[in-house]
């Protein structure tokens, strides 16, 4: 059976035997970096294509269907167009911050890729504080957005950036608390431990209603953190034209655009990892035959499938709901989601102490 784990270990063993200790490590680092960047680009292109097809399906139209079969090269063509465009810097802008901002957002998105387990034992860095690392690094992106809004010297950008900052900082609490719920249940911050704790059943199944509540709150928080409709106030094109990236053009705009999709992917990947078992196949109690068939599906497919399902959910939200107003958005977080997730966390702690899960 094909497995990414085997492939990686073969490459690593070969490098080790040919290059020796320090050089093999350096080459592995470079390869991982290149792989991450490639993944980044491919993910961006795929997700944009998926978004356009999903949107088209919901809006009774066809979507891209001209460039390549079924229009799959449409996003590539769009990216090429953006690369060739001139990246304007407005006269009144703070040039250093203006040009730095898209890279900040991009790098923050890239760093979170590290602890994500794409398949069984296929992880860039299985850090012991994995979940905490994700929560911490994901908040760096807001600095990039604030920088973009402030340095553009555009009032729409500034309003968009301020909205975005308020929004991301608030919703991080709910996202963090719902992740914490699973950390309490599994007893570890390490991503691989969290996945292994779900070998006999995903948390969303064996955690009963409190975990389902935590999952729903997590999905809402991820939608808000990635500035997606119905929480796309930072971009709110009917109010702020394009929000914080109004002044950006060419590849600098594309970086923001791609970072948004990468952030969706990462948010959904984390959701899939901690609530839906990551690469863990779906198992039902003692059904040996069924479990065996499920095991036969490669672990990478399980992970990708779950993540894409969550991404589809978030896209579905976007093409269905109107946008919230800024005060309603903050009310929702501080008056509803945060108290609910705090009480929920208490219930889950009680559950963990009493052992009330399967």
Partner 1 sequence: MIEELGTNDQGDMIINVGPQHPSTHGVLHLVITLHGETVKKVEPHLGYIHRSIEKMSESLSYRQFSYVTSRMDYLSSHINNHACALTVEKGLQIEIPGRAQYIRVILDELTRIASHQLWWGALAMDLGAFTPFFYSFREREMINEIMEETCGARLTMNYIVPGGVMFDIHPDFQKKVKHFLKEFKSKIHEYNELVTGNVIFQNRTKGVGYISKENAISYGMTGPSGRGSGFICDVRKLHPYEMYNQLQFDEITEEGGDAFARYMVRIREMEQSMNIIEQLIDNIPEGDFLAKTKAVLKLPKGDYYTRVETARGEFGVYIISEGGTTPYRIKYRSPGFSNLSALNDMSVGGKLGDLMATMGTLDLVIPDIDR
Q: Which residues form the interface with partner 1 (CB under 8 A)?
A: 55, 58-61, 155-156, 159, 163, 229-230, 232-233, 236-239, 241, 319-328
Least distance (Å) between residue 179 CB and partner 1 = 26
Residue 20 dihedral angles phi and psi, to the nearest 5°: 90, 175
Q: Which is nearer to partner 1, 194 or 233 (CB)?
A: 233
Q: Which is nearer to partner 1, 280 or 314 (CB)?
A: 314
Q: Which is nearer to partner 1, 203 or 261 (CB)?
A: 261
> Can you spell out the DSSP letters for 99-166?
HHHHHHHHHHHHHTTTT-EEETTEES---TTHHHHHHHHHTTHHHHHHHHHHHTT-HHHHHHHHHHHH
Least distance (Å) between residue 316 CB and partner 1 = 10
Q: Which is nearer to partner 1, 282 or 319 (CB)?
A: 319
Tokens of 198: 């779900």
Q: Which is nearer to partner 1, 55 or 140 (CB)?
A: 55
Dihedral Cα 257, 102, 189, 207, nearest 10 deg? -20
Least distance (Å) between residue 319 CB and partner 1 = 5
142: closest CA among 100, 105, 110, 186? 105
Least distance (Å) between residue 156 CB and partner 1 = 7
> Can you spell out the DSSP letters for 45-106?
HHHHHHHHHHHHHHTTS--S-SSSGGGTTHHHHHHHHHHHS-----TTS-HHHHHHHHHHHH
Q: Which is nearer to partner 1, 122 or 171 (CB)?
A: 171
Least distance (Å) between residue 222 CB and partner 1 = 18
Q: Looking at residue 280, what DSSP letter applies?
A: P
Least distance (Å) between residue 102 CB and partner 1 = 23
Cα–Cα distance, 175 to 211 (Å, whole number): 13
């Amino acid at each position: 059976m094909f497995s990414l784990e085997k492939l990686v270990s073969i490459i690593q063993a070969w490098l080790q035997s040919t290059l020796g200790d320090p050089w093999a490590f350096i080459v592995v680092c470079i390869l991982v970096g290149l792989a991450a960047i490639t993944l980044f680009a491919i993910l961006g292109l795929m997700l944009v294509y998926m978004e356009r097809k999903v949107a088209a399906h919901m809006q009774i139209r066809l979507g891209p269907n001209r460039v390549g079969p079924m229009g799959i090269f449409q996003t590539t063509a769009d990216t090429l167009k953006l690369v060739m465009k001139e990246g304007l810097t407005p006269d009144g802008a703070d040039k250093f911050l203006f040009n730095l901002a898209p890279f900040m957002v991009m790098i923050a998105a890239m760093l979170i890729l590290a602890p994500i387990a794409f398949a069984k034992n296929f992880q860039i860095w299985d850090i012991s504080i994995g979940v905490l690392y994700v929560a911490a690094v994901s908040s760096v992106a807001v600095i990039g957005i604030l920088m973009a809004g402030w340095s553009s010297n555009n009032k729409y950008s500034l309003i968009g950036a301020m909205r975005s900052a308020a929004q991301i900082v608030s919703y991080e609490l709910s996202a963090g608390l719902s992740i914490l719920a699973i950390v309490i249940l599994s007893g570890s911050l390490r991503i691989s431990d969290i996945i292994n704790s779900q070998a006999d059943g995903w948390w969303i199944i064996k955690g009963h209603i409190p975990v389902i509540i935590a999952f729903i709150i997590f999905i809402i928080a991820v939608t808000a953190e990635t500035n997606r409709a119905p929480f796309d106030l930072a971009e709110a094109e009917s109010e702020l034209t394009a929000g914080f990236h109004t002044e950006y053009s060419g590849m600098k705009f594309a970086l923001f655009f791609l970072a948004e999709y990468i952030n969706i992917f990462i948010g959904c990947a984390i959701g899939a990892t901690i609530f839906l078992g990551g690469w863990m196949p779906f198992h039902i109690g003692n059904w040996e035959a069924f479990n065996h068939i499920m095991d036969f599906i490669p672990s990478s497919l399980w992970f990708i499938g779950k993540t894409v399902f969550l991404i589809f959910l978030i896209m579905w939200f976007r093409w269905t709901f109107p946008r919230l107003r800024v005060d309603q958005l903050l009310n929702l977080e501080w008056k509803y989601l945060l108290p609910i997730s705090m009480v929920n966390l208490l219930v889950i702690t009680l559950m963990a102490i009493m052992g009330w899960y399967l």
